[in-house]
Amino acid sequence: MTNKERYAAFCQAQPEMPVMMQPWWLEAVCAGKQWDVMLLTKNDLDAESNLWQRIKARARKRSDDAANAGNDEAQAVTAEALDHNEEIVAAMPYLLRKRLWYKFIIMPQMTPFGGVWMNEELFGAPELQEKLAKAIARKLREMHIAYYYQKFAVGNPLPYWLGKRDMKIEERVTYRINELPQIEAVEDGYSQNKKRQLRKAEGLEVDGDMTAEEFYRFHTACIAERGKKLSYTREFLLVLEKKARRAGQCAIIRVSGNVAENGAHGTNETEEPNNEHGTTRKGTEQTLAAAFVVWDKRYLYYLIPAYLPSAAKSGASARLADEAIRLAKEKGLQFDFEGGNDDEGIANHYRQFGSKAVAYQAVSKLYRPSFQLLLWANQLRIQRFF
C-alpha cells in the first residue's frame, strides 16, 4: 500500500479527523499538484533509541529463525509483534511544491489548518510528543526541502515541541463560538450593532440554491468593487465544491433582496441589476451576500464569505453570518469563523457575534536561506489579491 492508501484507511478509523485533513479534501485543494503524507509509527517514536533498534533486530532474527525451522506459528506471532510497532500513531499530510531548484512544503489554498494529526494516546503524553517532534524534524531534514510551513489545528500540543527542534512558531487566532445553546441565547451574545443590522435585514431572503458557478461569479464581482482579484480560480472552487457535496459536508448560503443606492431596501419595481457577474438571483432580487461553508464532526467553518460592498447598509453581511451560525446549531456543531487574524475590521465583525479568539500555531523552518527571496516575492504577489 502507498502512504496515501494507508492514510485513507487511517482516516476511516479516526472519526474526529478534521475535514481539511481528509484525503478527499486534499485531492480537491491540491488538484494538479503533488500532495503526500508523512506517516509516523510507534517505531518512529523510538527510532533514535539504540535499545529499540536492538530489540527489533532480535525480533526479526527470531522471525527468520522460525521461518527456517518451518515454525509458522512462531513466525506469525513474531511478525504480528513487528506489525504492531508499525501501527500509525500520527500523520502529516502535506503539499509539496517546486520552484526553480527548490522543493518546499506549504499550506494548500482554502485550508486554514493541517499539520500533524495524532492518535488520542499521544495527548497527555509529553514524552511521546517530544519523540514525535524529533522524528518529524528528522524526516523533514531527510526530504532535503528548502522551506516548511504548516498551520496546526487548535489545541495541538506538537508546535511546542517542534519549537524546541529549532523551528519557528507563530501564534495566530481564529474566532469561534464553542457553545451553541438555544439560538435565542446565542443572539443574546450579539452586539447591539449586529442586532440592529439584523432588524434591518429582516426583509431579505435566504436560500441554499446558489451553485458554485454562481458563487464564483458573485465573489468575483464583490472583489472587483474593491479593486482586487480573487486568490482562487473558478476550476478550484468547482472541484472543491463537487467533492465536498459528494461527502455531504458543504453548503452555499445566499442572502438576496432589493437594495436602493443608499443601501436601504428598495421596492419590487427597482430596475433589474446587471447579471454580468452573476449578482442577480431572480426577478429584481439581487444577491447581496453569500458564503461557502464546510463542516466535519465538530465544527462548521465559515470558509469563504462574500459581501457586495454597495449593499453594506442592507444588513446582509450580518444576516449571512447569523444564518451560518443557525446552520451550525441545526447540525449540532460548534462554529468557526475561520479568520480574522490579519484584519482587525474583520476580527471586530466576528467578535460582535459573541465569538471568542482562539489561538493556534503556525510552524515554519527555512532550510535554505536563499529561498527567502521567493518568500518575499510571494508576499508582494499576495497583496494584489483579496
Whole-number pLDDT of residue 199:
95
197: exposed, middle or buried (C-beta count within 10 Å: 0-12, 13-18, 19+)? Answer: buried
How far is it, in rounded angstroms, from Cα 207 to Cα 331?
17
Contact predicate 35/2, CB 8 Å: no
Whole-number pLDDT of residue 45:
85
Domain 176-354 fold is Aminopeptidase (3.40.630)
Q: What is the pLDDT along the chain (386 residues), one digit of tens a residue?
A: 899 999 999 999 888 899 999 999 999 999 999 999 999 998 888 764 544 455 455 555 656 665 676 655 444 433 443 344 578 999 999 999 998 899 999 999 999 999 999 988 899 899 999 999 999 999 999 999 999 999 999 999 999 999 999 999 999 999 999 877 766 677 888 999 999 999 999 999 999 999 999 999 999 999 999 888 899 999 999 999 999 999 999 999 999 998 654 445 543 333 343 444 455 444 567 999 999 999 999 999 999 999 999 999 999 999 999 999 999 999 999 999 987 767 788 899 999 999 999 999 999 999 999 998 888 877 765 555 54
Cα dihedral sign, 7-150-359-39: positive
Q: How far is CA 85 from CA 26, 45, 49, 209, 240, in A?
A: 27, 10, 14, 49, 36
Q: Domain segments of the chain: what residues?
A: 3-166+361-382, 176-354
How far is it, in rounded angstroms, from Cα 318 to Cα 327?
14
Contact predicate 114/21, CB 8 Å: yes
Whole-number pLDDT of residue 202:
94
Cell numbers that stand for 53 in this block:
533498534
What's the CATH number for 3-166+361-382? Answer: 3.40.630.30
| CA-closest candidate to residue 386, choices 200, 255, 148, 219 | 219
Whole-number pLDDT of residue 78:
39
One fold for both 3-166+361-382 and 176-354? Answer: yes
Q: Which residues pair with 362 in a beta bridge?
A: 151, 170
Whole-number pLDDT of residue 183:
64
Contact predicate 204/319, CB 8 Å: yes
